[in-house]
A and B are shown apart, each in its own frame.
Chain A
Amino acid sequence: MNWQLLPQFAITGLLNGGPIALIALGIVLIFKSSEIFNFAHGQMLLIGAMTTWWFSADEGLGLPLWTAVLLALAVSILLGLLIERLTLRPMTGQPLLSIILMTLALGQFLQGLTILTFGTTQRNFPVIFSITDPYRITLPFTYNDNPIIVILKQNLVWSFVVAMVCVIVLALFFQYTRTGLSMRATAEDHETAQSVGIRINRVFGISWAIAGIIAAIGGVLIATASGLDLSLSIVVLAAFPAVLLGGLESIPGAVLGGLIIGLAQGLVGLPNNNFFMGPEVAQAIRNSTEIVPYVILLIVLVIRPDGLFGQKRIERI
Chain B
Amino acid sequence: MAVLRPAGDFDTSYEQDMSVIRKRWQWVALLLFLAALFALPAYAPEPAVSLVNRIGIAIIAVQGLNILTGYTGQISLGQAAFMTVGAYISALLVGQAGWSFFLALPVAGLGAGLVGLLFGLPSLRVKGFYLVMATLSAQFIIPWLTRNTFPNLLNGAQGMNVPVPVIKLPVIANTCFLGTTFDPETAVCLYRFATPNEFIYITLVVLIISTVVALNISRSRLGRAFISVRDNDLAAELLGVNLFAYKLRAFFIAAVYAGVAGAMLAHNLRHVNSQTVGLIDSILFMGMLVVGGLGSNLGPIFGATLVTLLEELATVLTPILITLMPDIAGGATAALRPLIFGLALMLFLIFEPRGLAYRWTLIKAAWRLRPYAR
| Residues in A lying within 8 Å of B, measured CB to CB | 37, 87, 90-91, 94, 96-98, 100-102, 104-113, 115-116, 119-120, 237, 240-241, 244, 248, 280, 283-284, 287-288, 290-291, 294-295, 297-298, 301-302, 305, 315-317
Contacts and interface: CB of A to CB of B under 8 A. Distances in A.
B108 interface: no
A291 B141 contact: yes
Q: Which 8 A-B pairs have the closest CB atoms?
A: A112-B339, A109-B342, A108-B342, A115-B335, A120-B331, A105-B345, A294-B137, A112-B338
9 contacts: A94-B353, A100-B75, A102-B349, A104-B287, A111-B342, A291-B140, A298-B122, A301-B134, A302-B122
Contacts of A37: 129
B329 to A, nearest CB: 8
Given A241-B133, A283-B148, 20 more contacts: A87-B346, A96-B75, A100-B129, A101-B286, A105-B343, A105-B349, A109-B346, A112-B340, A112-B342, A115-B328, A116-B325, A116-B328, A240-B136, A291-B141, A295-B141, A297-B137, A301-B125, A302-B122, A316-B234, A317-B235
Contacts of B327: 119
Contact of B336 (A100, A112, A119, A305): A112
B309 interface: no
Interface string B133-161: 11011001100100111010000000000
B350 A106 contact: no
B69 interface: yes
B342 A98 contact: no
B125 A291 contact: no
Contacts of A280: 151
Interface string B65-86: 0000100000100000000000
A297 B130 CA distance: 10
Interface of B is mostly: helix
A101 B331 contact: no
Nearest to B328: A119
A294 B346 contact: no
Interface in B67-117: 69, 75
B126 interface: yes
B188 interface: no
B357 to A, nearest CB: 16
Contact of B234 (A111, A112, A288, A315): A315
A4 B144 CA distance: 29
A108 B287 CA distance: 11
A79 to B, nearest CB: 15
A102 B346 contact: yes
Given A97-B75, A116-B335, A317-B234, A305 B126 contact: yes
A284 B146 CA distance: 11
A98 B290 contact: yes
Given A107-B342, A287-B148, A112 B349 contact: no
Contacts of A317: 232, 234-235, 238
Contacts of B349: 91, 94, 98, 101-102, 105
A29 B287 CA distance: 26
A302 B120 CA distance: 11
A24 B366 CA distance: 49
